[in-house]
Structure 1
């Protein structure tokens, strides 16, 4: 019972509960717990929500373009660094203390084991990464050797900001 109280107090201090709706995108509620599978919302909550929503919009846009990401592609990406490993083994190989602490903290806030959190985080992260890479390739390609990478990156950032603005203006995105 005291663990539940600590969790509730921690979330209350943050000004939200994990079950609270952060935004509604195309009629689908985006809860803080959805965001917490990828990001900490302890600091810069508004910026974190915006970044999460941009990813979700890219996935929607990519799907509208006919872009898909298969389970096999996601699995291949997860195992690229440690072939033949499973999520539990990859979790045990984490050497970065800050990353390890992030997994521990988020797992605690979401009420799951660190290994369960890592598995969900890894699945979601690699899926999003695949969609974003395919979308960027389709929309912008990749810079040639002579192109300014910063300028290319700025074009992408501007495009994502414009998408977010358009979704808000069209009523497809409501941020709580």
Structure 2
């Protein structure tokens, strides 16, 4: 009995918080961000606090990019996709990814098919990536092979500074 009690305590202590899709995890400049917003990009099964923090840092950078007048068009997203998968349609791109378990699990959580999940995930991922790239290329110029490591460090530090500034100024409230 003692073993069972210890096991249950350890199990509960190690599983971390679970999030309902509709649950508000943060408010960024008055806009609610839900667990579902994160689930369209990432799983919340392992280290959810780290995943959420990373997602919110991206959101802050995207907000800053938009404030600077940076935009990302559907055409740019499609060009980026075709750059990585020349001539491939959605089905072929989906099939190109080896491990489909992530897409199946996320699709199940969100009540869509794995292909529908992948299509939305792909659009979100490429759009966010383009905002991120444009913002940091504007801030620090495009990286070169020579300065890639120091550039990446600047990007990481700047992202942390923005995130912390938004929290401190009350622009970002984490729940």
Whether TM-score is above 0.5 comes out as yes
Pick the TM interval, shorter chain: 0.7 to 0.9
For the pair shown, the structure with the greater C-alpha radius of gyration is: 2
For the structure 1 residues 104 and 25, does the alpha-carbon distance in structure 2 shift closer, same or farther, using more than 3 Å as the test?
same
Residue of structure 1 equivalent to 2:53:
50
* Distance in 1, Cα, partners of 2:142 & 2:79: 22
**What is the TM-score of this pair, normalised by structure 1?**
0.85
Q: Is residue 150 from structure 1 mapped to residue 153 from structure 2 by the alignment?
A: no
* Distance in 2, Cα, partners of 1:158 & 1:64: 20
* Distance in 2, Cα, partners of 1:167 & 1:70: 26
* Distance in 2, Cα, partners of 1:17 & 1:144: 42
* Distance in 2, Cα, partners of 1:108 & 1:14: 19
For 1:53-92, what aligned pairs fall within 5 Å after superposition?
Answer: 53-92=56-95
Structure 1 residue 111 displacement after superposition: 0.9
Residue of structure 1 equivalent to 2:102:
102
Unaligned runs of 5+ in 2: 1-15
The answer to whether the 8 Å contact 1:21/1:31 transfers is yes
The answer to whether the 8 Å contact 1:23/1:175 transfers is yes
Unaligned runs of 5+ in 1: 1-12
Comparing 72-81 and 16-25, the one that deviates more = 72-81
1:54-109 Cα offsets, whole Å, 9 max, x none, are: 11111111111111111100011122233333323321332x22xx1111111111
Q: How many residues align?
A: 161
Residue of structure 2 equivalent to 1:4:
none
Structure 1 residue 14 displacement after superposition: 4.6
* Distance in 1, Cα, partners of 2:150 & 2:27: 32
Residue 108 of structure 1: SS of its match in structure 2?
Answer: helix
